[in-house]
Amino acid sequence: MVRSSDLSQRLRPLMLWLETHVNPHRFLWLMSLLCFLIAWNRGIALLYGLVALMLALIIISWLGPWWNLRRLNPHRQQVGRASAGQTLTLRYRFANRKPAFFLSLLEQLPGDEQPQSHFISQLPPDGELEVNYDCPQRGVFQLAPCQLSSGWPFGFLQRRIRLANDPCKVEIYPRCFAVQKLDQPISDHPLPQDSASVLSRNAHSEFAGVRPYRQGDSLKHVHWAASARQQQLVMREFHSYQTPSWLMIIDGQRGSAAGDGADSSFEYALQIGASLLQYAQQQQLHFKLVITSKEPVVLDNTSGHSDLDDQLSALARVCDDGDLDYDVAVAQALQQYGQQQYQQYGLQHGGQPSLITVRTNRQALSLDHIAGHIDIVYNENSLDIPMARYPEGWSQPAANTRRLELHRLSNLAQVWNS
């Protein structure tokens, strides 16, 4: 047993060299040359036939993939919506006149280190297929030209072509997690216990009217009589004066985000903002989201505004290219948008909404006289060294302030709803 393991260790470099330098196509060339030399030296006619057979295999292996890939001009387009961390579906339409076989389709998505490959055993004439890809990163991207490869019919030789004349733009929304509650940090007017929305029977609210259904609305607020008359889903709308309005401000200053790519504090903040927008629309809460980029992005769920898809589309396009320091941006946003919400909803507590901020533990905020504050703090070291132990969870450092400490490996849905 020991001798067998020693022999395998000695042969390992040779096997690695053979795997690297010897493939079926080269092996056929070597065998053809060897058989030809033996047949020429010994005059064995059968070996000449074997040489001819192997040369025919080589020629077919060269011509087959070229013939298989000719006139394949796919058109790509995105199907449905896609979110970071989930799947992106692309539909391909081919303009081939004859069937194609044994194709490999390669796509390089932004954020991927290696192309993603899909095998197509048979493609019928004018074929159409949908392929799912993992999309790691939020954003709006122009995909690089896709690649097609084929080893048909024997697989001895692979031919690859890059299709450069097929531009395709994809839109990937931020990842959303399920928010089950949004506890207000204001102590004087808390929500009734076990209430899930502003429509709790204990909450002080009044009927404000009806509007068409928007994606993401909760079906428990459907006005069934009006829906039957109009032959479409119609939603009840309520104005609440006891539940506070929410203002979330995300730092869009250039260079202030910690981490890289999809694992940056800016991307995590957008995930939280998108999830709270979705929850606020379902529960008909007054929620405004502000991203302090160079051109500030302002989203809310008030009547007459875009539906959830439009809001997520805007978040897919946003980038952190602003100039304002986060502390200054928060103060300006509170002054500007807080007064607007006061005039629109008749807010209590001096006309200020409850504030939600997302920052790293190295960023400081100086806030005075705010109605309530949910302070979400990411540990900056965790974005570089994720496997260490970091604080996580809710705390209440002040009467009207709740703090949520997070790190790179935090399960947002689990920690938020704890």
Query: pLDDT tens, 346-355?
Result: 444 445 688 9
Percent of the chain with pLDDT over 90: 51
pLDDT over 80 (residue 126): yes
The predicted model scores a pTM of 0.77
State which fold the 75-173 domain adopts.
Immunoglobulin-like (2.60.40)
Residues facing residue 363 across a β-bridge:
none
Query: 241 near 205, Cβ under 8 Å?
Result: yes
Strands 86-93 and 116-123: unpaired
Degrees (nearest 5) of the Cα angle 361, 365, 367? 145
| pLDDT score at 347 | 44
Band of residue 72 on the pLDDT scale cut at 50, 70, 90: confident
Query: 341 near 333, Cβ under 8 Å?
Result: no
The pLDDT of 217-227, averaged and rounded, is 82
pLDDT over 80 (residue 34): yes
Burial of 139 (0-12, 13-18, 19+ CB in 10 A): buried
Q: Give domain 242-416's CATH number out of 3.40.50, 3.30.230, 3.30.40, 1.10.287.
A: 3.40.50
Token pair for 234:
């119609």
- Give 360-367 contacts, CB < 8 A, sequence gap 24+: 360/258, 360/265, 362/258, 363/251, 363/256, 363/326, 363/327, 364/327, 365/326, 365/327, 365/330, 366/327, 367/330, 367/331
